[in-house]
Structure 1
Amino acid sequence: MPEPPTLVRRGRLLRIGAAAVVLLAVATYVAVQYATGGRAKPRCVVASANGDGASYEFTAEQAVNAATISAVGTSRGMPERAVTIALATALQESGLRNIHHGDRDSLGLFQQRPSEGWGSERQIMDPVYAAERFYAHLAKIPGYSRLPLTVAAQRVQRSGYPQAYAKHEPDATLLAASLTGRAAASLTCDGRPAGGDGTRAGDPARVKSALVRDFGKDVAPAADRARRSVRIPVPATVESAQGGERQRGWELAQWAVSNASALHIERVSYAGREWTAGNAGDAADAWRKVSAKSPSGAGPGASRSVEEVRIVTGQ
């Protein structure tokens, strides 16, 4: 018995509608691929230096914010544990994104509230300011470095969900070890070589400005526009909050890799290793060994009492 005309028409309309949805999805995919050059968003990976296979993958946006939080902490003389607490807090509160919304008037990386005296809206939306305020409050907590992370974070944040910070401790620990420089060559990012995908060229002056913004004036970067590079001396007398010269150098080098997409950084070299944008994979593969060179302006037999981090921007 033939189907009633109404049912036939309804079935035909459903098939047409389904086909239209599929076509729209395909068209959207093609448009996104065209706009992004067929590539996914840049990503970063940090790996454990303990040989246990632990790793954490995150976005380039998150990497920039994590690097700022770490740099602000070490520049204040805060230990690695403080950086871990700050990173876990930001992971929970904002997903390491500088968001302009939240519960009531909460804002920024740490969801700080102007109405609670954390600062003005403009100040809180500045990642450096927000991180400084977090560490200032953390430093006032007696024995915070010996407290469970959730307890230390809660005493700063006064969150309605204090136990939520705990789940981010493993990832925050990996990030802190890398970004403070203790875990050398443990972080890599895809990066975006400038000019290759229609983006603007990198500017050494912007890299220098960002370094000073996050680390303070004592970092003393020297920008060379002609060579598209920034050189940061790491004298043996300069130490990070965590360790000596070599750790300070890796802190600066991995900060640069974290900012590779944002600042169009093409290469970073330090301590006989070099990272290049576009080298996807794990950190051990991304940081390849290179021959050691004498400091800029020195002869072949010059002393290596001053090493340097070299950051090369794309053109």
Structure 2
Amino acid sequence: MVRASSRRDPDAVLAVRRAVRRFLDEPECARRLRQGELYVAVSGGADSLALADAAAHAGRRRNVRVRAIVVDHGLQPGSAEVAERAAETARGLGVDEARVVPVTVSGPGGQEAAARRARYAALRAQLPEPNRLVLLGHTRDDQAETVLLGLGRGSGARSLAGMRPLDPPWGRPLLELSRSVTAQACTGLGVRPWSDPHNSDRRFTRVRLREEVLPLLEDVLSGGVAAALARTAAQLREDTDALDVLAEELAERAHDGSALDVEVLEPAPPALRRRVLRGWLLAEGVPELTDAHLRAVDELIGRWRGQGGVWLPGDFEARRSRAKLMLNASRPTTRGD
């Protein structure tokens, strides 16, 4: 992450700065800057260093203090030194403050998932108030990988919609830029990014997508795949948001205390019904919902034959009784009313 002497590429630097400026001009982002602070997650890689420079540049123009947060996952020998160099480089790029936050990576789901949980928890813990904004360096390539992961796992439209540009407190201003642009921007800034060995370790699914699957798709489909996947994600987000609004209106009419009115839900399209059911079940504390769970509960509305209740994670039971859908913390019954 030391200063490099390579040929400058000011166009890439300007592209990243322009993307961050436009993102921060959005009303919700501007509202979150009113306290005069902006946070940026920095790993030392090209994406985050280019982002740190652009954030610092925008901060000076807006009279906003920019604070870089470097999370040290402690997964590799020398990680503390790598984190300190990343913080030092961020300071050299103009951020007002850079701090290193060490974390312990543990828990279910594999190392990738555990590291992600620890990182996001550490970033959130650094915020003095929840209404602040943390910029993340995800690019169009990251978005394409996320969409492919969702497609391969059959996770539904929400996963295929990818990462949101603004998902408070997280902000992702670089989703329309490729990873090559951030690398060129670092050349233009004269810094040499750190290359995380985990990013080339093919034990991790995302690495194999990046190095094997996406290049093959680009070759077979004659290029433009990452951009096409990102466009698809944006279109699905718009559709999903529209369906969510309709589902909220349906839920308001269907709620009857802690139960749902089946007569209100039954005429609605299944996609809207399942959105209402998902919100209801999560609000009631049902954990780890899957598509299969939602479809089984929806059959109590759309394919009612007097069947018994549906068992759900957490020892909950969804059952239908007298045109009401109810949720009990008990074992399933053998037959509905």
What TM bracket, shorter-length normalisation? Answer: under 0.3
Structure ranking higher in helix proportion: 2
Larger RCO (CA within 8 A; separation ≥ 6): 1
Q: TM-score, normalised by structure 2?
A: 0.26
